[in-house]
Amino acid sequence: MRESNGAVRVGVYVCHCGSNIGAIVDCKAVAEYAAGLLHVAVARDYKYMCSDPGQELIQKDIEEHKLNRIVVASCSPHLHENTFRVATAKAGLNPYYLTMVNIREHDSWVHTDRAAATEKAKDLVRGAVRRVVLQRPLEKGRVPIDPKVLVVGGGIAGIHAALTLANAGKKVYLVEREPTIGGHMAMFDKTFPTLDCAACILTPKMSTVKNHPNITLWTYSEVESVSGYVGNYDVKVRRRTRYINEDLCSGCQECIAACVFKEPKFPDEFNQRLGKRKPIYLPFPQAVPQTPVIDPETCIEFKTGKCKKTCLEACADRHAIDFKLTDTVEEIRVGTIIVCTGFQAYDARRSPQFGYGIYPNVYTSLEIERLVNAAGPTAGEVVLRDGKTVPRSIGIIHCVGSRDENANRWCSRVCCMYSLKLAHLLKEHTDAEIFNFYIDMRTPGKSFEEFYQRLLNEGVHFIRGKVAEVTDWAADPSEEGKLVLRVEDTLLGVVRRIPVDMVVLSVGLEPHADAQDVRRMFNMTCSNEGFFLERHPKLAPVNTFTDGVFLAGCCQGPKDIPDTVAQAGAAAAEAMALIDAGYVEQEPNVAYVIEEDCSGCKTCIPMCPYSAITFREQDKKAEVNAVLCKGCGTCVAACPSGSIQQRLFEDDELFEELEGVLIHA
């Protein structure tokens, strides 16, 4: 490494970013101004500093002009700080002799007055020049990465991510809250636009997960706490008890048959409460694992303690059932985490104009998925809630809870396509007359538009307009006993009343009610909508702002199955990239103690949320563990004698920057 021996020589580079900066900030003037600042040896403006020639320009100047400090005024450091650090290092200069000035996101893109924006750029550059003069050479620390991965959520995203990693030889913990993996996809009947059966393509993957030697599957379990840092996360997982020992259970289901409830009696969650289950149950026939669950809310033994416990008898030779089992907590160490916690469907009761919960024959789309499914509560027979009448006419309302100021403002992306799919399936099952009510038809995927054309040819009606209400008020005798959809047909320009037997609400996707808790646990950020925020919408779509924590599936935003699988694969690859590197580099911006000045007052110790500061008894000084320190600098601000400093954010560096930005030209 070339260290500067002798005078400080700063190079300042002002980027036009095409016209992104240049149109508002007079980059040439900024460079000319910078050239006059103390210590500045070279100042240039250039079209694209991040381009190869731009970077080479810096490297050449370092060589020719013996530069030993670099200031790049361009975009946000979150975007290109690393680019320029690498470029600086390539020329033999310590990469921490670089400072970036954000004159795009914080200047040219947000201001309109050219003179004021140029002034601002000059001020910021002046601050940076004064700061960079004081900057010290730093080295990144290295921390080894634990090669095990935690995947949170066992829907299609989690399943795919876990399998990808496991197939590459990585050890994976897959944690799922429900008693079975499979997520929403397991509830679907067919998938659009190919109409292949969801179970047929999903269940083989589910059993592979169960049998994979590299995957530890914990269902009916939830992550309870996460601590540590990239490469070394300590995770506690609560495994809720099913009252059936998973290791002893053979999955014979004799216990279910033997239950004192001869007939299923309680609403079955997996079938959207359309069917019934017993207190001891398997959510669905292909559930993974094939271990039943006992629901203490409905089990007689738990409620009264006086059950005949016929289930125990049925399991007599295995003794898998034990009413005294309790939750257990597993403590694991992983290096990386993939969060795939999925979505929840919009609660249609929140839009009472569509009559869900008021009129029995108004259904949600998930209910219809179960109704048309051969393994569903009616064995695939589509009948109304009376259990016998086959609907002759069906209205499918798109965008329920989506694109609605009073509900969720976003488009849920999958509803148009699944509405088309349900229209096709319902027509196939009932030959009913089907009306789709849509705001805009959004079919921007592979073979999607073709599927829409197919439905048009199948004779399904499409009415463009937002349904105002679903009512059972009959305006004339032909509407008696029907559900009437009142809608403005915006193509005909008239208000229509369409009487039907069954209404299907295509409910949107939204973040889980507890998404905020999950976000805090994994130290992630949420977008305004409440979905987990990716590090960069274009260039880091599966990363989060926490290193080593990745995202996949609908917890990041609504998406269909192919996109979810692609994202899950990407998240797995990102995790593998970290694991295979073997270590992570740690930013050097950690705190350190200037021992001569430390009085041993211990003020700093409770400041640190990571317990990185300890008190050394032998000489009564504070000591910072650089591996544990995450570089927030809270202790630095608290130290009464200024004897803790933060590398790269030293007091003197920040004071210089502060003075620099405040001196008027």
Partner 1 sequence: MSEAKFEPRIVAFFCNWCTYLAADLAGISRMKYPPNARVIRVMCSGRIDPQFIVKAFANGADGVLIGGCHPGDCHYQEGNYKCLRRFTLLKRVIQEMGIEDERLRLEWISAAEGDRLRTVMFDMVEKVRALGPLNWKPAEEKAPVAEEVTA
Partner 2 sequence: MPENRGYLYFPGCSLRATGAAYDESLTETFRLLGIPIEELEDWNCCGATSYMAVDENSAFLLSARNLSIAAQQGGRDLMAACSACYLGLRKAQDYVEHYPEVRAKVEAGLKAAELKPFTGVKVRHTLEILYNDVGVAQIKSKAVRKWQGGKLACYYGCQAVRPYDEVDNPHNPMRMDELMRAVGAQTVDYPLKTKCCGGTLTGTIHDVGVRLNYILLKEAVRKGAEAIVTICPLCQFNLDAYQCEITGDQGEKFDVPILYFTQVLGWALGGDPGKLGLKRCIAGQSKIKNWFSAKQEVASHA
472 touches partner 2 by CB under 8 A: yes
Minimum separation from the CB atom of position 96 to partner 1 (A): 11
> Side chain identity at 583, as an amino acid letter?
Y
Interface with partner 2, residue 471, by CB under 8 A: yes
Q: Which amino acid is at 633?
A: G
Taking CB under 8 A as the rule, does residue 358 contact partner 2? yes
Q: Which residues 6+ apart lie within 8 Å of 379 measured at CB? A: none
Task: At 424, list the tokens.
Answer: 């096709």
The residues pairing with 74 across neighbouring beta strands, listed in sequence order, are: 102
According to DSSP H, which parts of 93-143 are helical? 114-134
Q: Check if the beta carbon of residue 176 is closer than 8 Å to that of residue 363.
A: no
**Are 290 and 209 spatial neighbours (Cβ–Cβ below 8 Å)?**
no
Stretch 100-119 residues interacting with partner 1 (CB under 8 A): 102, 104-107, 109-113, 116-117, 119
User: Which of 310, 344, 353, 603: binder of partner 2 (CB under 8 A)?
Assistant: 353
**Which C-beta is closer to partner 2: that of 381 or that of 472?**
472
CB of 634 to partner 1, least distance (A): 3
Neighbouring CB atoms inside 10 A of 475's CB total: 12
Which of these, 277, 272, 237, 270, lies nearest to 153 by C-alpha position?
237
CB of 545 to partner 1, least distance (A): 6
**HSE value, Cβ hemisphere, 13 Å, CA-based, for 290:** 12
Shortest Cβ distance from residue 307 to partner 2 (Å)? 35
How many residues sit in the footprint of partner 1 (CB under 8 A)?
Answer: 70
Residue 611: burial class (beta carbons within 10 Å; 0-12, 13-18, 19+): exposed
- Near partner 1 by CB under 8 A: residue from 83, 298, 527, 603: 527
Which of 195, 474 has the CB closer to partner 2?
474
Question: Shortest gap between Cβ of 22 and partner 1 (angstroms)?
Answer: 15
- Give yes or no for residue 302 binding partner 1 (CB under 8 A): no
Tell whether residue 219 is a contact of partner 2 (CB under 8 A). no
Using the rule CB under 8 A, which residue among 23, 50, 134, 439 binds partner 1? 134
Count of residues of this chain found to bind partner 2 when the rule CB under 8 A is applied: 9
Nearer to partner 2, 473 or 583 (CB): 473
Name the E strands within 95-184: 98-102, 141-144, 149-152, 172-175
Q: Would you count residue 481 as binding partner 2 (CB under 8 A)?
A: no
Find out whether 215 and 198 touch, Cβ atoms under 8 Å: no
Half-sphere CA count of 106, side-chain side, radius 13 A: 17
- Residue 583 engages partner 2 in binding (rule: CB under 8 A): no
**405 DSSP assignment:** T
Residues contacting 9, CB < 8 A, separation 6+: 39, 41, 42, 65, 66, 67, 68, 69
Residue 352 sits in the site that holds partner 2 (CB under 8 A): yes
Residue from 55, 59, 68, 221 in contact with partner 1 (CB under 8 A): 68
The residue from 383, 439, 607, 627 that contacts partner 1 (CB under 8 A) is: 607
Which residue number, 473 or 655, has a Cβ lying nearer to partner 2? 473
Q: Which segment (123-131, 187-195, 359-367, 594-602) binds partner 1 by CB under 8 A?
A: 123-131
DSSP conformational letter for 605: G
Backbone angles phi, psi at 488, to 5 degrees: -85, 115
Helix axes 198-211, 156-167, angle to 10 degrees: 50
Q: DSSP secondary-structure letter at 540?
A: B
Closest to partner 2 by CB, 164 vs 471, is 471
Distance CA 513, CA 505 (A): 20
Answer yes or no whether residue 82 interacts with partner 1 by CB under 8 A. Answer: no
Q: Interacting stretch for partner 2, rule CB under 8 A, among 28-36, 469-477, 490-498, 615-623?
A: 469-477
Binding site for partner 2 (CB under 8 A): 351-353, 358, 469, 471-473, 475
Binding site for partner 1 (CB under 8 A): 3-8, 38-39, 68-69, 76-78, 97, 102, 104-107, 109-113, 116-117, 119-120, 123-124, 127, 130, 133-134, 136-137, 520, 523, 525-528, 533, 545-546, 589, 607, 609, 630-634, 636-638, 646, 649, 651, 654-664
